Structure 1
């Protein structure tokens, strides 16, 4: 099984702009640090609009162009579009295999995706009578489950999807860590003070989704949210952050240090 990685991170979101919202500033930060990052979009994005008569293919291609442009702003090296039907994503052999193929192809050290356990995000109405929450999109939850199943057991098992190995030459691979975004169980806060503005500029490329006249307001809202996340991180972890993105970080595999000799291996005489 291959354990050395080619890419630092693979970010897998359900729709165009999901990765931007969940990891845009962290992606820009890591890209600035010289880390190779690939983004994956699971669905074709064709339900992300307000005009019922708009042609599906036209909207799909438009949203893919917007995502490609946004990714360039953030420094993403490659974007993969899997084009499963928007609004109808399910955890199947087909969707799992598509993700396993990409994990084996790019061999990322870290995979970012939606937290599939997060169904509802809402304040206590007794504590905040005017506050509203939201229900997590089923495609988000499906994506998270697909990705976690792909990571284990399928990506690392040579007997899973054997044609990927025997016909396509894609070796089994073990992901080191998972970072879940859109989570209510954050344990990791990344300082994105230097890239929060870049996140906003990336999101501004999604012109089909946002009113250009509200671009500055959107950046202000992003910064307000990132400041709130930083405050939570400061309180929970004793940090001193201005702007942050938060994740539920799960360590799955710690590769052996190649500079340390294995005591179980006897030296040849």
Structure 2
């Protein structure tokens, strides 16, 4: 298999996936793959005012609007923002998410990222990859036939992350930006609280990784080498990938 037909990206918060692999997802979508974006938490403290339920409602709508830009399905897991933990209930929920999406390729957060929700989401996804194939672990959706090939996304600000390969997202950088701009509450919050355009760090990181990859804009990844091995770099969008080592 060299052309994935189903791709799942798992973030902790409603805009994580857009920031870290939105361009890659856009390329998969252009190639006809079915894209699913799963968001572990409600993002319900991600605003300077309003109740947590009000914020969660807004952010879910924004996440859906962003997914719609590339025709992706959205799975909203509904955990509380900043209180995501790896426990039995959350692992079963993550297993069921993976089974629902039935991905050939999966993108997960780095387990050494700066935010505890990011680290927990990365651990949950990694730890659920193989259990999703075990029939005796029962969830609403049936077990997978094989574990998905999994790539670890870059960290915010590229801190403590050394990519093994890149995807050239230059042709779809405007699509990635359009996805991020659907998160209007975060655009406003970044401007009012931090005095910066929400796209500034996005463009800076894409440009930095692009310089490393020898192109204008890029996203960096590592290949998860956990057993069983089910695929490699050939599963990234064809014609847009560059493996550097590993």
Matched-pair contact (CA < 8 Å) for 1:43–1:82: yes
Any gaps of 5 or more consecutive residues in structure 2? 156-160, 232-246
Any idea what SS the aligned residue of 2:99 has?
Answer: helix
Give the alignment partner of residue 200 of structure 1, picking from 152, 177, 183: 177
Q: What secondary structure sits across from 2:39 in the alignment?
A: strand
Q: Which residue of 2 aligns with 1:122?
A: none
Check conservation: 2:12, 2:117, Cα contact below 8 A: yes
2:106 paired with 1:111: yes
CA RMSD across the alignment: 2.5
Pair 1:185-2:162 in alignment: yes
Instruction: Answer yes or no: is the 8 Å Cα contact 1:70–1:203 preserved in 2.
Output: yes
CA contact (8 A) 1:115 1:144 kept: yes
Structure 1 gaps of 5+ residues are 120-135, 234-239, 256-269
Compute the TM-score of the two structures, normalised by the length of structure 2.
0.81
In structure 2, relative to structure 1, the CA distance for the partners of 1:169 and 1:23 (3 Å cut) is closer
Q: TM-score normalised to the size of structure 1?
A: 0.75
**Distance change >3 Å, CA 147–CA 59, structure 1 → 2:** same
Contact 2:12–2:40, Cα closer than 8 Å, also in 1? yes
**TM-superposed deviation, 1:220:** 5.1
Q: Is the 8 A contact 1:158 1:171 kept in 2?
A: yes
Aligned partners of 1:23, 1:106: CA distance in 2, in Å? 17
Give the count of matched residue pairs: 220
Quote how far apart the aligned CAs of 1:158 are: 2.2
Q: Deviations over 1:148-180 (max 9, x none)?
A: 00003x112223x2x33xxx4613442231111
Matched, 1:63 2:59: yes
Equivalent residue of 1:208, what SS? helix
Aligned-partner SS, 2:187 = coil
Question: 2:224 corresponds to which residue?
Answer: 250
